[in-house]
Chain A
């Protein structure tokens, strides 16, 4: 691909600003993984079904295999790498997945965590049926989901007790306000 076909993009990922020169056809999942080195986001099907590549873009969960990198120009993206505190303190969802054995091979986990994170923002106090629906766009081949439902249930409890997540996850709060338009 010649240089002239490359497009410059700038995006904020987990609160940090990045620029990249990418082909217009390059998927956001590939931009994140190959250009920015953020390999926590996994690619499981590349046709938008499995949900492993789910990231939060401008406040909404998206399948990063169905979004082109150029579409994420000026966007705010949050990936699994941005869930924990910079000092290493786990997000309540991460704590809960660990506690409840909500993962086995861990490949679907980043996408599952991002979907669950957005879901709990929309519905901080869900019942099990609602949790099942909330994560139904993410396939897991190992766990049979039961422990994931347990984990999201526990995370909801942890989050309601502990306002820390709301206070500090400024990324998530900011991206809720919507995508900035580049003038």
Chain B
């Protein structure tokens, strides 16, 4: 059995020896390089673009503005959650008359080298007439603010309204009603490798593009549509990828421009985004303002909750359409059983970089808001916040449970789970019952410590289907072609383990092939924690079909019923007595002799998502002089149904936590009033280093396997990220329960904590 074991990754030998091949590592004969000139203005009319000097520079091969692109070019369409009303806010690959964010592509330059292309970029002279920038959602929707997309008529681009029960009626009955404003800041995935592409027209006139990832087959079709050429004449090849996390692999302006330039020039064109460019060009995420009204009783039971949400979607609608706002609503209820819910979400355009998903989209935001509200209620009622959670949790006997809200075209229905149990596990692990005592002892020594919890429900396994094709080669090696993409998550190892388990061969004999549209016939890609759930299930069934084929031949040779046979350790065995009957290799040879093709394809379809769930807990110590937060202990318990490889799951959770920590304390894509990004480098956009990251204790649970797929898996990609901010915030508030502070905004700054401590403890009279 390899499923469930922590085997080493098959991806690693190349990557640890410098033999990985990321897109920037590929060098083709006669290759040239592209650079993109971007808008330095947040909002401006383009009056004139002077490209003459740049064109005259030796070794400059092409200078292209929006006016040089085909007249009938379509904008980049929505991939997920498309909506007709929003098509008027889509982005074209190059701006023509107007720019709407700092970083918007204006001119494409191609030269023999990157150095020369950058020299040419310096010679481009664009005359802009600057316009008033819109940098805040509330300003954006005022009637006297200019409208960024006149065909839509308002910067309040789209409204999403969902309801369950009557919030107004329930609120009337509640003895307590509170209102809170909460804010989640703009930040994003920021993979360590920036984006890049290499496009080349082959001798047979076909276009090959290296560098697409995440949704390779989908983007392949989009490019064919935009270029108006048959997709048969385009080949996409996925290279190694330096991290995905949501932003990477979507279809961006450059995904059109670079192939287009290669077609026009007839030479290979490479483009590798630089880091400063990445910060303004690649999708941002997360920025939301929430206004919550919540009604509850003296026991802490919540009866009604209304949340009006303003999503700062940036200057254009990109490929994710309204995915993030929709998921924010659908996943907001988390593990709790609310009687009445209402969500009103405004998708608002501003003069900032457009947005998309980032690991745990909508859940990072919603979980922060919800889990803070729970602790605010507990504080108001002077109750234990874990008890307030307990009183509101969905009970195991309520499963499957529909929370009444829709997301991504389906009503959210939790497939399985025991939420009270996981809360208990975490309370015990953190010794919550003894914590008050420990806190008092620490206080006696002048130390301020606090402990906070945050629960969450994740979603995974988005359909509609995934594809797998397996084939046994000579010597019993297996190739597994998958429609998934490899963004570093270990998908090759996980699929190899799944195939190996079915076919009784070592996982190291499996070669996983992905991301080549000439080789893998179809696929939906890797996003939304769908890889192992949907792609893994396809691999499971494809391998099962292959196994059946092998066992039928074995049965005939051995004169035994096929159902009494199995394959283990490359041997055909008798199930009842586990006796070895013959070598697997003999059966493979026999199949070849008989002309039996040892190849199977399987498309696994699924209508509903799976819902893993968990809890984060943080114990923090606070430096009363500086307000610095030290995480003394961090704990995550996550029930993912089944772990194919616990080591990889552990890696996903700790790595995910690091990104959540960045979002909780450090990372912010902050704009000034002129619409300039002021945290546009790694000097001021602070990714956690090894010094900020605590040791994280992980508990992987398999108590609630998903009934929706043969492996019982629920996926593990995003649960490490989504509950970090509220767990830490709740711990800080617990630590500072005597001080005048409430945390309703991210990132949590030490100066806010320091100021509260300086003001001194609040006496009861003041409260």
Q: Give the residue name and chain of the B residue nearest to A100 (CB).
A: B647
Q: How far is the CA of A94 from the CA of B15 in the complex (A)?
A: 10
Q: Is there contact, CB below 8 Å, between B16 and A101?
A: no
- Does B655 lie at the interface of the complex (its beta carbon under 8 Å from any beta carbon of A)? yes
Residues in B256-291 with C-beta less than 8 Å from chain A:
274-276
How many B residues are at the interface, by size bracket?
A: 35 or more
**A42 touching B690, Cβ below 8 Å:** no
Asked whether A141 and B192 contact (CB < 8 A) given A42-B22, A97-B12, A132-B691, the answer is yes
What's the dominant secondary structure at chain A's contact region?
loop
* 455-494 of chain B: CB within 8 A of chain A: 487-490
A106: contacting residue among B20, B276, B696, CB under 8 A = B20
B170: A residues at CB distance < 8 A = none
| Chain A binder among B239-247, B424-432, B565-573 | B239-247
Residues of chain B with a CB closer than 8 A to A107's CB: 20, 22, 191-193, 240, 242-243, 488
Distance from B14 Cβ to chain A, minimum over Cβ atoms (Å): 8
Instruction: Report the bound CA distance from A158 to B682 in whole Å.
Output: 34
| B648 part of interface (Cβ distance < 8 Å) | yes
Q: Does A59 contact B (CB under 8 A)?
A: no
Please state if A147 and B654 are interface contacts (CB–CB under 8 Å): yes
User: Nearest-CB distance from A123 to chain B (Å)?
Assistant: 15
Interface size on A, residues (CB 8 A): 59
**Residue A18 at the B interface, CB < 8 A?**
no
Q: How far apart are B58's CB and chain A's nearest CB, in angstroms?
A: 9
A80 to B696, CA, bound (A): 29
Greatest chain B CB density within 10 A among A26, A33, A145 is at A145
A47 touches B16 (CB 8 A): no
Q: Which of B634-657 contact A (CB under 8 A)?
A: 647-648, 650-651, 654-657
Contacts of B190 in A (CB 8 A): 141
Pair B241/A105 contact, Cβ less than 8 Å: yes
Q: How far is the CB of B677 from chain A (nearest CB, A)?
A: 15
Q: Is the CB of A98 within 8 A of B9?
A: yes
A135 at the interface (CB under 8 A from B): yes
Contacts of B20 in A (CB 8 A): 40, 106-107
Cβ contact within 8 Å between B695 and A146: yes
The residue that B24 contacts in the complex, of A43, A140, A147, with Cβ under 8 A, is A43
Minimum CB–CB distance from B146 to chain A (whole Å) comes to 35
Contact of B115 among A26, A46, A80, A147 (CB under 8 A): A26
A149 neighbours in B (Cβ, 8 Å): 690
The reply to whether A47 and B275 form a contact with Cβ atoms under 8 Å apart is yes
> Which of chain A's residues have a CB closer than 8 A to the CB of B355?
none
Q: Does B18 lie at the interface of the complex (its beta carbon under 8 Å from any beta carbon of A)?
A: yes
A149, closest chain B residue (CB): B690
Give bound CA distance, A35 to B363, whole Å: 46
Give the shortest distance, in Å, between B233 (CB) and chain A (any CB).
29
- Give B179-209 as 1s and 0s: 1 = Cβ < 8 Å from A's Cβ atoms: 0000000000111111000000000000000
The complex places the Cα of A101 from the Cα of B490 at a distance, in Å, of 10
Contact B8 A98 (CB under 8 A): yes
Are the CB atoms of A94 and B115 closer together than 8 Å?
no
Assembled-state Cα–Cα distance A113/B192 (Å):
16
Q: Which of these, A39, A94, A139, A144, contacts B25 with CB under 8 Å? A: A39
B755 at interface, CB cutoff 8 A: no
Closest to B15 in A: A106
B650 partner residues in chain A, CB cutoff 8 A: 101, 147
**A124 at interface, CB cutoff 8 A:** no
Q: Give chain B nearest CB distance to A87 CB in angstroms.
A: 12
**Do A146 and B18 have beta carbons less than 8 Å apart?**
no
Cβ of A54 < 8 Å from any Cβ of B?
A: no
Given contacts A47-B275, A144-B655, contact A105 B17 (CB under 8 A): no
B115 near A44 with CB under 8 A, answer: no
Partner of A113 from B16, B655, B696 at Cβ < 8 Å: B16
Does B706 reach chain A (CB closer than 8 Å)? no
Residues of B with C-beta under 8 A to A146: 654, 693, 695-696
In contact, B691 and A94 (Cβ under 8 angstroms) = no
Contact of A40 among B19, B655, B658 (CB under 8 A): B19
Q: List 16 extra interface pairs beyond A23-B115, A144-B720, CB under 8 A.
A: A1-B116, A26-B115, A39-B21, A42-B242, A44-B275, A47-B681, A84-B17, A104-B655, A105-B487, A107-B22, A107-B191, A107-B193, A128-B695, A139-B682, A141-B687, A146-B693
The 6 closest A-B pairs by CB, nearest first: A40-B18, A105-B488, A107-B242, A106-B15, A144-B658, A49-B682
Partner-B contacts on A (CB < 8 A)? 1, 23, 25-26, 33-34, 37-47, 49-50, 52, 79-81, 83-84, 90, 94, 97-99, 101, 103-110, 113, 128, 131-133, 135-149
Query: Can you name 10 A-B residue pairings with CB atoms under 8 Å?
Result: A25-B115, A41-B18, A44-B193, A49-B683, A52-B192, A98-B8, A98-B12, A101-B650, A106-B12, A146-B654
